[in-house]
Amino acid sequence: MNAHAAPVAAKDRFESLDVLRGIAVLGILMVNIQAFAMVWPAYQNPTAHMDFTGINQTAWFFQHVFFEMKFITLFSALFGAGIILMTGDGPDSSTKVHYRRMLWLLAFGLVHAYALWFGDILVTYALAGMIVVLFRRMSVGKLVFWGLFWTALTGLIMVGLMASFMMLPDTMGPADVGMGMTPDQLAAQVAAYQAGWLDSRGYNAFVAVSSQLGGLMFAGRIIGVMFLGMALFKSGFLLAQWSVVKYLLSAVIGLGLGIPLVWFGADHALANNFALDQMWVHTATNYGGSLLMAFGYAAVVMLICKAPVLSLLRAPFRAAGRMAFTNYLTQSIAMVFIFVGAPGLGLFGTMERIDQVQLVLAVWVVQLIVSVLWLQVFRYGPFEWLWRALTYGKLHPILKERAAA
């Protein structure tokens, strides 16, 4: 494959990558909103904050089974594919531009993590991208092997950590291991986020540092999935180049095995009320099941991309994918405005899970519409344009050329 010395032109884009990226960036908000709207331990232990009965419990089950870790897996795989798309995989490919891109992405990520939201993924992506690019010339088989190796190794470490909770004394509870809060701690965090942006920065910075250190510890998953994304790109899977039969088979295997596995883990967690000594079960089932489901989701999207009759259905997701960086960051801007106090609305700790789901659906509609309308006038999303300008050291035209009258 040839290296690109300049940004990928519109005519050189692969529709399947844009459509899948658009779906992925929308899907991750369904999971992230829990960390925007509630105290951070509620992400791992949903009983830690607000109501967890009835429709709210159903909302969690829906989020966990169909979204948690599935869409970030797709996003990570596409990031790996994008590295090859931008740098090429031949022996003469230059990585200088790539490293500039990653350094600027790291800068964006640090601002995002501390000024907006502790759950930033850009810092981890930037650091992982600096490593993964070194292996882009490996064969598909080697990329799959090492992708599965690092993903499995990280999973064993994560599940082992969760399984160690079984050795804790019976007197210890979730709060003792960071998966819960005392009533006073919970009230203090809610009050800080409702008070305003400045008041919440202390909590945000503490969790951001913890998340980034944890991200380094479990970076093997991200690196492994990026390897798999490179393999799927090289094999033509992500370019909708496989046959319909192969994609159908991939979807059946991925979803047919993945959904029951994750469903079992979610049922088990509910049955045991998220007991610490049982938390490793739904962690393990979702860790493995999310890989299978992401593969199945991607296969379904590739089938949709192979059907000319579905071009209108794909169009808004393609636009959202072309503006994925902008959509990711504007999701955070919107969520911080809604949930953090002055100058925002300060709704932190007041919106139940079912209402969070409804808010996400509304954001999806807005971002799909805005993405389509924006790209009618502009070549790139605003943050994509800024990232390119910083990377290449020059201002690329952002307005589309209009044909002469």
Give percent of the chain above pLDDT 90: 79
pLDDT range class, residue 1, cuts 50, 70, 90: very low
Q: How far apart are CA 172 and CA 174, in angstroms?
A: 7
pLDDT of residue 8: 53
323, 329 in Cβ contact below 8 A?
no
Instruction: Give this prediction's pTM.
Output: 0.92
- When pLDDT is averaged across residues 356-383 and rounded to a whole number, the result is 97
pLDDT digits (tens, 9 = 90+) for 323-350: 999 999 999 999 999 999 999 999 999 9
Query: CA quadruple 36, 38, 41, 45: dihedral positive or negative?
Result: negative
218, 287 in Cβ contact below 8 A?
no
The string over 167-178, giving b where at least 16 C-beta atoms fall within 10 Å of a residue's C-beta and e elsewhere, is eeeeeeebbebe
Q: With 60 as the cut, is the pLDDT of residue 92 above it?
A: no
pLDDT range class, residue 7, cuts 50, 70, 90: low
At 120, give phi and psi (nearest 5°). -50, 140
Residue ranges per structural domain of the chain: 10-392
pLDDT digits (tens, 9 = 90+) for 179-194: 778 888 899 999 999 9
Residues 6+ apart with CB under 8 A from 207: 40, 118
Q: How far apart are CA 237 and CA 229, in angstroms?
A: 9
pLDDT of residue 4: 43
Q: Write down the residue that tokens 């910075």 correspond to.
A: 205
The answer to which of 182-196, 253-267, 314-328 has the lowest mean pLDDT is 182-196
At 399, give phi and psi (nearest 5°). -80, 140
CA angle 190, 195, 201 (to 5 degrees): 80
pLDDT range class, residue 44, cuts 50, 70, 90: confident
Q: How far apart are CA 105 and CA 121, in angstroms?
A: 10
pLDDT of residue 176: 58
- When pLDDT is averaged across residues 302-325 and rounded to a whole number, the result is 96
pLDDT of residue 6: 47
**More confident site: 404 or 396:** 396
pLDDT of residue 284: 95
pLDDT of residue 2: 40
The alpha carbon of 332 is separated from its chain's Cα centroid by a whole number of angstroms, namely 13
Q: How far is CA 274 from CA 62, 113, 141, 173, 279, in A?
A: 16, 28, 39, 11, 6
Burial class (CB in 10 A: 0-12, 13-18, 19+), 243: exposed
pLDDT of residue 75: 97
pLDDT of residue 5: 42
Q: Which two tokens stand for residue 235?
A: 């094999």
